[in-house]
Amino acid sequence: MITKRIIPCLDVRNGRVVKGINFEGIQDVADPVEMARFYNESGADELVFYDITASVEERALFSDILVDVASQIFIPLTVGGGINTLDDFDRVLKCGADKVSVNSGAIRNPDLIEQGAKKYGDQCVVLSMDIKRVDGVFKLFSKGGRENTGIDALQWAVDGVNRGAGELVVNSIDTDGVKDGFDLELLDEIAARVSVPIIASGGAGKMEDFSELFQHPGIDAGLAASIFHFKEIDIRDLKQYLRKAGVEVRL
């Protein structure tokens, strides 16, 4: 049967993985290629690279890194960060990305989802959403979670799927960094409304958080960054734990 997916996320700036400095077990602790190789060997099901660069020069460096990773690591790669136009899709796909994650670019121009889906297929377009409760209502935030767009997040998820998003990354700002579990209330609300795969993000602190997550129907994958980078959780250990808990995983 199909497995639940475990996905580490790597934020890359100026050719290095941000927050990767305490990473053990590999030689160059912040080299994206080394980290990608390490995660591939430890059983990661996909990798997500976020380009958090600020300049054109750094962006070119990011592209070079992506080519390096995609030439050596043969599992699905998703790339996000700075995707605002179809040219941005084209640029990262030519460098070896399999899926393109849109966030703020799709908020500014929702047609971007449709255009990307039409040109490259639904499976290629991942809609990533930063969501926070405001007065008890789930609101969509932009610019890395700094700005409240005022948009109803649940409606945005439904609209995004209707426009052609093939997967959703649901990142809860409320649980992000708290390490007390995923935002199951939010995830359930979204799972009840859409039928595309949902990747949960924000809040994972221990292995039990993942087994609890996968008991909720409609959740296909768990994404995390620092708990994997800092080796608080080893992906292979996590998968063995999940398999014992009755969750189908790739080992």
Partner 1 sequence: MIAVIDYGVGNLFSLTASLKFLGAETIVTNKKEDILAADRIILPGVGAFEDAIAKLRATGLVETIIEETRRGKPLLGICLGMQLLFETSYEYGKHQGLGLIKGEIASIEEDLPKRPDGEKLKVPHIGWNSLNLKGSDPLFKYIKEGDYVYYVHSFYGKNCLENTIASSNYDIEITGAVRSGSVYGTQFHPEKSGNVGLNILRAFIEL
For every residue of 47-104, DSSP letters joined together read EEEEE---SHHHHHHHHHHHHHHHTT--S-EEEESS--SHHHHHHHHHTT-SEEEESH
- The contact mask relative to partner 1 for 103-142 (x = CB under 8 A, - = no) is -----------------xxxx-------------------
Cα–Cα distance measured from residue 115 to residue 85, given in angstroms and rounded to the nearest whole number:
9
Instruction: State yes or no: residue 5 binds partner 1 (CB under 8 A).
Output: yes
Q: Is 40 in the site for partner 1 (CB under 8 A)?
A: yes
Contact between 70 and partner 1 per CB under 8 A: yes
Q: Are 86 and 125 in contact (CB under 8 A)?
A: no
Task: Pick one of 96, 105, 116, 205: the residue that binds partner 1 (CB under 8 A).
Answer: 96
Contact between 162 and partner 1 by CB under 8 A: the answer reads no
Of 92 and 184, nearer to partner 1 (C-beta) is 92
Q: H-helix or E-strand containing 36?
A: helix 32-41
Q: Which of 32, 80, 82, 166 binds partner 1 (CB under 8 A)?
A: 166
- The answer to whether residue 193 forms part of the interface with partner 1 (CB under 8 A) is no
Smallest CA-to-CA distance from 164 within 141, 205, 194 is with 194
Number of residues located near partner 1, criterion CB under 8 A:
30
Angle at Cα 11 formed by Cα 6 and Cα 14, nearest 5°? 150
Q: Which residues are catalytic?
A: 11, 130
Q: Is 123 helix (H, G, I), strand (E, B) or coil?
A: helix
Residue 75 interacting with partner 1 (CB under 8 A): yes
Asked whether position 176 contacts partner 1 by CB under 8 A, the answer is: no
Q: Where are the extended beta strands (E) located within 81-193?
A: 99-102, 125-134, 137-142, 147-152, 167-172
Nearest to partner 1 of 22, 71 (CB atom):
71
Determine the Cα–Cα distance for residues 248 and 251; give it in Å rounded to an integer.
9
- Check binding of 1 to partner 1 (CB under 8 A): yes
Stretch of 14-22, 125-133, 174-182, 190-198 contacting partner 1, by CB under 8 A: 190-198
Q: Does 215 bind partner 1 (CB under 8 A)?
A: no
What separation in angstroms does the CA of 78 have from each of 49, 75, 153? Answer: 6, 10, 22
Binding of residue 197 to partner 1 (CB under 8 A): yes
Among the listed residues 120, 154, 148, the one whose alpha carbon sits nearest the alpha carbon of residue 134: 148
74 binds partner 1 (CB under 8 A): yes
Residues binding partner 1 (CB under 8 A)? 1-3, 5, 40, 45, 70-72, 74-76, 93-96, 98, 120-123, 166-167, 195-197, 217, 220-221, 250
